[in-house]
Structure formats: structure tokens, C-alpha cells
Amino acid sequence: MIETNKIRKIAFLSTYPPRECGLATFTEDLVNEIEKIPFVQPSVIAVVDKDAYTNSLVVRKLSQHDRTSYLLTALWANDNVDLLVIEHEYGIFGGESGEYILDLAKKLKIPFIVTTHTVLLEPSPKQLSVLRDLGRLSTKVVTMAESSIPILTETYGIESEKLIFIPHGVPHMQVESRKKLKINHGLQNKKVISSFGLISPAKGLEYGIEAVAKVVPDYPNLIYLILGKTHPCVKESMGEEYRQSLMDLAERLGVQDNIRFIDKYLTKEEVITHLHLSDIYLTPYLSKEQAVSGTLAYAMGCGRVIVSTPYRYAEEMLGNGRGMLAQFRDSESMAVCIRSVLANPIRKKEMEMKTLAVGQTMTWANVAAQYAELGMHIIDDAATRKKDDTRRLGRPSISRPHPHLTIVSHNGMKVG
């Protein structure tokens, strides 16, 4: 039974804004919503590389590439929080495949949850061992895709009893009508397709541009919005080479006026606004492995028709007529899907309603409530077990100190 008058301190270990990555935004949205729930006190342990933080919710920083920092963070967590939630992504932790996180996990004396943001079908031996061991040490493992549950049990050997499905959250915001938003953004009388997120070659945006070029002869008023900055890691390794290649492709195909690049890290409000003015949301990702997509989740929350390649999360979310799946690396297949949506307004409306019905169950308020309830149960169960252990052991006998001995307490004071 959950005690309702007790404050539970839950810390989230993750990247966090101003660091520009989807995991940081995910954690910010989740923690901000949990903060509204009575008797739960959330905080953040931010995984840092070169970032500076002023947010009051960031109570500690873990240095990504400093192995000692992982041990010190575990010791700090043991003394200061009741439960740790590790937002797991291989690339945000130090060592091979983020193995330093295991140093922290092994030193924790408090219970901890792992939220899996990447669940690979064919992990490397090191990737397998890191997530397997993290799952073994954890109290619960959260997955945002039900399709990942059999993979986590069969491939990674995590007990099914530990696994919990909680969907990716989506914002709930009131916005103006699609027609009014299009007018506000100079897109009146346009059919709008959009893709957003940090840009990298893995997003397959070149296939989206090629698909749009195939559809434009039939729909010359079609506009494709590519929203987002280049991913910091991509920019560091190859500059703006990929973005420039996309712009060159649009020009070569003669659709430079139909493709608009908005080169900035969008606020949540800007993302929601652009999704609501879109007729189609497009995710032409290249990898089947994608276990979850925050951008697709957001589009679900806005009730948009989604055309996507069949990566795992898309297959799960777009079933039962909630969207359309095109083949990987196949712009013609994508173009067929886009034409089908644009040519059938009644079917388009039906898909939007089906998508919105699911999206409304994924609001951050609902998701935060599930995390809070899970955390409270774990904390209270741990406290109950601790009390039971104390009762079984019984009170230690108290003997009179030897007259010639001096006993020193844990704080260094002489007590005898």
C-alpha cells in the first residue's frame, strides 16, 4: 500500500537541457510533469560533457568520461535520494558502449529503474552485456515499445517480471486550427509535409526529398518542411555536409521551392505548431532497429497522418490504420503513400482520428503519473523490506563499555 503523506525523492540520471538531444528533452518534459504530483520530489543528475547548468532541478552532475564520477555519483545518490531512474542510451555514458554506467549501478544501495531508449535486435557483445547487467541489477526496466519486451527477455535475458511498458510522452497544447496556422506561416493553400528533429544521415531525409519530387507534378502546391539543426555529433565530425547534400539534391530535382529547411533547435511550442499545421508527418528513417521515436510520438499526440518506413516503433504505433508504411530506402514507395493520403481526404481524416485517439493516452501527465506510481511502489516496498529485516534481526544487545576502552561514534565524537 502506498503511503500518501510521505515525500519520495526520485532522481533522474540523464542528459538535460541546454544539451541538445532528444533524451534531454524527454527527461525535461517528464520531470516537469512529475514535479506537479504531490508527495514526489523529482530531481536531475545531469550527464555532462561540456555543458553548464543553472536549472534548480539539476542537483548533481555526472562527468560523462570520468570513471571516478560514476562511483562518486552512486555514493551521493545512496545518501540523498530514495530511487534513481537511469535513462539509458549507450552513447551518453562513458567507456565502450557506455559501460561506465555499470560502475555506478553496482555501487547503488537504493533501488533503481532503467528506462530503455535503445533496444537493439542485434547488439554487439559489449552492448548486450551492458544492458543485460544493468537489467539484472535494476528493480524494474521500463520500455516505451511493447515490441521490445520479447527482445529484452530473449536477447538480453532480463526477467519478464521486471519489465514495465510506459509509452513515450507527448505534450498537450491548445493551438489554433490548421487553416489559421498555415495562414500565419505563409502556407495558405499548401499541402504540408514535415519532418523534425536533429538532422543526421540516419534520418534518410534524402528519400523524403526524392518522394516529394515524385509527387510535386501532381501537387505543385506541396511543401516539405525539414525542421531542425544538424546533430551536434554529426556537425563535429562532418560539419554541414549532410544538410548541404540535401539542399543540393532538392535543387538537382527541381524542387528547391518545395523544400524548406528551418535550421534551428525548435522549442516545444514550435514543434507542436508545425506539427499541427502539417497534413502529413514523414519519418523516412533507415534502420529497422529504431525501438522508439520521440518525433513520431509527438506526431501521434497531434493526431497527424504519419507516413514512415517500417522501423519497429513505427510498425507498432501505426497499426490498425493509424498511418502508412513505406519501404526502406524506397522513395517511390514513399511517394505512393503520400499520394494516397492527399488523394483521399476522407481516409486522411479517419487516420487522423485514429492516431489522435492513441496520442491522447500518451500525454506527459498520464506518463508522469505512471512513473510516479511505479516509483512510489518501489520506494515503499523497499522501506517495508528494510523494516522486516530489522525485525527479523532483532535489536542488538547493548553491553557496558569496558572501562579502559574509548568508543568513537561515526561522527568522530567520543561516547565512552
The domain spans of the chain are 8-169+364-385, 178-362
From residue 157, give the alpha-carbon distance in Å to each of 151, 207, 331: 9, 37, 38
Question: Please, are residues 116 and 91 in contact by the beta-carbon 8 Å criterion?
Answer: no
Give the 3-state secondary structure of residue 176.
coil
Q: What is the identity of the amino acid at 78?
A: N
Q: Is 178-362 in the same CATH topology as 8-169+364-385?
A: yes
Tell me how far apart the alpha carbons of residues 27 and 142 are, in angstroms, rounded to a whole number. Answer: 14
pLDDT at residue 343, rounded to an integer: 97
- Cβ neighbours around 372 below 10 Å, total: 22
CA nearest neighbour of 223 among 305, 285, 280: 280
Place of cell 481524416: 349
pLDDT at residue 290, rounded to an integer: 85
- The cell for 1 is 500500500
DSSP state of 23: H
Place of cell 511517394: 335
Question: Please, what's the b/e burial string for 250-278 (b: 16 or more CB within 10 A of its CB; e: otherwise)?
Answer: beebebeebbebeeeebeeeebbbbbbbb
Tell me how far apart the alpha carbons of residues 87 and 117 are, in angstroms, rounded to a whole number. Answer: 7
Number of helices followed by number of strands (H, E) in the chain:
15, 13
- The cell for 141 is 526496466
Tell me how far apart the alpha carbons of residues 130 and 233 are, in angstroms, rounded to a whole number. Answer: 22
What does the DSSP assignment read for 319-346? TTTTSEE--TT-HHHHHHHHHHHHH-HH
Place of cell 503519473: 369
Tell me how far apart the alpha carbons of residues 240 and 200 are, in angstroms, rounded to a whole number. Answer: 10
pLDDT at residue 113, rounded to an integer: 98
pLDDT at residue 385, rounded to an integer: 83
Residues 291, 229, 286, 182: what is their CA dihedral angle, to the nearest 10 degrees? 90
pLDDT at residue 409, rounded to an integer: 32
What does the DSSP assignment read for 228-258? SPBPHHHHHHHTTHHHHHHHHHHHHTT-TTT
pLDDT tens by residue, the chain, 416 residues = 555 578 999 999 999 998 888 899 999 999 999 999 999 999 999 999 876 777 889 999 999 999 999 999 999 999 999 999 999 999 999 999 999 999 999 999 999 999 999 999 999 999 999 999 999 999 999 999 999 999 999 999 999 999 999 999 999 888 899 999 999 999 999 999 999 999 999 999 999 999 999 999 999 999 999 999 998 889 989 999 999 999 999 999 999 999 999 999 888 899 999 999 999 999 999 999 888 899 999 999 999 999 999 999 999 999 999 999 999 999 999 999 999 999 999 999 999 999 999 999 999 999 999 999 999 999 999 888 877 766 666 655 443 333 333 323 333 333 33
CA nearest neighbour of 348 among 399, 307, 376: 307
Question: Please, are residues 367 and 165 in contact by the beta-carbon 8 Å criterion?
Answer: no
Q: Apex CA 264: angle with CA 282 and CA 94, to 5°?
A: 90
Q: What is the pTM of this model?
A: 0.86
**Domain with residues 8-169+364-385, CATH architecture:** 3-Layer(aba) Sandwich (3.40)
pLDDT at residue 4, rounded to an integer: 59
CA nearest neighbour of 323 among 296, 294, 360, 351: 351
Q: What is the identity of the amino acid at 314?
A: A
- E strands within 64-157? 83-88, 112-116, 140-143
What are the backbone angles phi and psi of residue 238, rounded to the nearest 5°?
-140, 15
Tell me how far apart the alpha carbons of residues 137 and 150 are, in angstroms, rounded to a whole number. Answer: 19
End-to-end CA distance of the chain: 42
- The cell for 272 is 507542436
DSSP state of 144: S
178-362 has which CATH code? Answer: 3.40.50.2000
Give the 3-state secondary structure of residue 115.
strand
Q: What is the identity of the amino acid at 368?
A: A
